Structures are given as C-alpha cells and as structure tokens.
Amino acid sequence: MSVIHHALVLSLHQPPGNLEKLLTEKPWEARDIMYAYDRIPRILWEYEDVARVHISFSGTLLETLTSPDFQKNVYGVVDCGSMLWHYQNQAIINILGTGYYHPVLPIIPANDRTEHLSRWQGIAKHLFWRETFSGFWPPELAFSMELIPILKNAGYRFVLVDSEHVVPVTSMTEQERLYRPHVARYGKDEMIVIVRDRSLSDAQKSGMDYSWFVKEVAQRTQSCDFEPLVTTCSEGENGAWFRNTNNDHNFWGAFYHNLLDEARLDGPIKPTFIDDYLDAFGTFGEVTINTGAWNTEWHDGHDFSQWVGSEAQKSSLSRLEKVSTSLRQAVLESDDRELGDQERAVLEEANWRLLRAETSCNFYWGEDWIHRANFDLDVAESTLMRFKAKKYSFDGDPGWFF
C-alpha cells in the first residue's frame, strides 16, 4: 500500500457574545467548549514529529478569546493568552484564513466580502505572528466561483470545498476527483481547491474508530496510482465527541492518538499539511465548483435554503443589501474630503454593525436569531443617518442584543 496522506481540518467558531452568555447562563457548557479549544495544542505537543492539523478560528471567536473581560472571567478554567500562544506552533498547527464575522460569503453583498477577509487577517496576523496564511476556510464551507478573485487578491494559495460540489473539467477518475488537489478558474483568476471527503468528514464529526478509518480509507484509495490526499473537515468543538473531557472517549484520545502512534511506526496514514502535499505533488486537473455549502443536520448543502428559505430570512438579506449600498455610497461621497475622528468613528460603527449582522448563525436557525441581524442593521441605519446629518455623538447601546 502506498502512503495515504491525511489532512485534518477543524473549524472553530462561536457567534458574537455566545461564549459570554453561556458563561453566565450555562457555565458548564462554556467550560466544555473552552476545554475543547485548550485541549488541541496540548494533545499535539508530544507528537510534534508527526502531528499536522489545520485550524480555522472565526474572527468573532478570536475577538472573544482576546477580550480582557472574558479572559479574566475564564482564567480559572483556561488561560486564553497562553492557549493562543500555543496555537502559534507552526510545526503542528496550520492556521487557515476565514471571514471575520463568519458570514455565508456567497449570500452577502459582494462589497462586504473583502471586508470580512481583511478584518480577519488584521486580527490573525497580530495573534499568530505571521504575515501570510496560505489556506482559506469558507465559513459553513459555503463557496461559489466568484469568490476566487477575492481569495486570490487576499493572497490565498488554496481553498477548501465540499466533495459534493466538485465537477471535473479535466477527465479524471472518482479517486482522482476526491483525493488530488485541482485548479478552479474564474475569469483570469485561478485557485487551488482541496476536496473535503464528505462521508469521512461526517464520521469524523460523529465519532469513529481508528481501525475502521484505516480500512475505510484504504478501500476508498485502493485503485489510486498516486499518493492520495484524504481531507476530512468538521467542527472542532461541538458535540460530545470533541467536548468530552475524558480522553478515552473523545476524538483526540480515542482516535487521533492511535493515528499518530501508528504514523510514528510508518503506518499507512501520514498526517500532512496541505501546503507540504502541494509542494511535493502539485495539482492534477481542472474542476468547477457548484455553488453550495457543507451538509448540516437537516440539509444536504446543495443550496443555501437553511439560510435564505424563510420570508424573515429573505427580508433581512434584502436589508443587508440596502444598508451595504448606503454605507458604501457614504464612504464614496466622503473620499474627496478629509474626515475627522468622529466622522471616521461613526462610519466604522455602521460598518462593523453591518458586518456583524451578516454572521451565518443569525440566519442558520430559521427565524430564531434573525432579531440579532435586524438589531445590528437598525443601529447601522441610524448611525448612517447621524453621519449624513453630521450628528456624531452616539447614545445607543454598543453591546449585543439577546
């Protein structure tokens, strides 16, 4: 059997204010989530020679973890500063770029997408002490081809996509489609795409035995005449499989430790950074990616109906477009003059309120969290009205509406 390269990808995200709220109302749940974050680098320390894990932190999660008040409140549980410092270890962890407020990028106004990317890079460069991030994790794995130029301009080398949406342009076998990197082109721009194996990722999310994983991966790649790249992606803090504090019964102790131990003995599966695989083997063919997201508990991800299906969701998305257009127009009209500090502060208030309204969680839960998006849109609209009226004081609630 040839070497099977395994790229492990974990997405870490909390919506704005959620951990703070849990810490007050459900402290045991907040502790389990924080332990799940803290456990990752600790588990990998002793396997620096073989462990290779890709991590995506949403900007909202990083914002919470770096908040002095939050750090103080959880200090007896987790030392956030030390934890984030350990995530800087590039021997075992590769940080993937993403969107700051975790939006479903294809459904938000096009003008706002670059803002989410640049804001995330701003906080991540500071926290993780690096200037570049080669890989991109689309929030909710939601992708459409028109994102390619934006990702290219942001400096990304590759993007993760779900296997259900990958359509070959070059002639290729099913194994080549799933287990080799490809190139997707949009206009004059191209981007390397890394294919997430959906069914193996579902097993990773729910709980799996190492011996089963080895047999399953071997069977799926047995006809490969190349060294395959098997990519599994899931959330890294949700569900008992990742939150369980007993290492005998969680992902790390019951599964990944076994994989790492076998890798040290030249086992069949080699943990791999995607960049290292690309450097060694390059890409194979050209594909196109159908618009879609990853599969959720009740949706297959072939469209965005879980975020855009109801009338309330559609109404809020329409408001996003209107507020975004008004904000960009205000910025354009102010470009020909020098703004004062108060004017810039008011525009920034409207901007981040708009971006936070676009958080995917606001739309994911049907109509349960739509009020959060509408609250931020209300503030953004009123702030823009104050800007146009040259009233720069702010008397509203700067916090989060629950």
Residue 176 is predicted with a pLDDT of 98
pLDDT bracket for residue 394 (50, 70, 90):
low
Give yes or no: residues 331 and 272 share one domain.
Answer: no
pLDDT bracket for residue 87 (50, 70, 90):
very high
CA–CA distance, 324 with 112 (Å, rounded to integer):
7
Q: Where are the beta strands (DSSP E) in 242-333?
A: 269-271, 287-289
pLDDT bracket for residue 220 (50, 70, 90):
very high
> Is 323 a residue whose pLDDT tops 80?
yes
Q: Which residues are CB-neighbours of 144 under 8 A, at least 6 positions away?
A: 105, 106, 289, 291
Average pLDDT of the segment spanning 90-96: 97
Average pLDDT of the segment spanning 337-358: 87
Domain count, the chain: 2
Q: Which residue has the tokens 């390619």?
A: 148
Average pLDDT of the segment spanning 315-327: 94
- Report pLDDT digits (tens) over 16-71: 999 999 999 999 999 999 999 999 999 999 999 999 999 999 999 999 999 999 99
Give yes or no: residues 243 and 115 share one domain.
Answer: yes
- CATH number, residue 338: 1.20.1270
Asked whether residue 220 is domain-assigned, the answer is: yes
Asked whether residue 298 is domain-assigned, the answer is: no
SS3 of 193, please?
strand
Q: How far is CA 132 from the centre of its chain?
A: 16
Give yes or no: residues 273 and 330 share one domain.
Answer: no
Asked whether residue 248 is domain-assigned, the answer is: yes
SS3 of 135, please?
strand
> Is 139 a residue whose pLDDT tops 60?
yes
Give yes or no: residues 114 and 176 share one domain.
Answer: yes
pLDDT bracket for residue 393 (50, 70, 90):
low
> Is 378 a residue whose pLDDT tops 60?
yes
Asked whether residue 301 is domain-assigned, the answer is: no
Give yes or no: residues 324 and 195 share one domain.
Answer: no
- CATH number, residue 119: 3.20.110.20
Mean pLDDT of the chain: 92
- Report pLDDT digits (tens) over 238-260: 999 999 999 889 999 999 999 99
> What range does the domain containing 352 cover?
309-388
Residue 179 is predicted with a pLDDT of 98
Give yes or no: residues 23 and 106 share one domain.
Answer: yes
pLDDT bracket for residue 341 (50, 70, 90):
confident
Asked whether residue 36 is domain-assigned, the answer is: yes
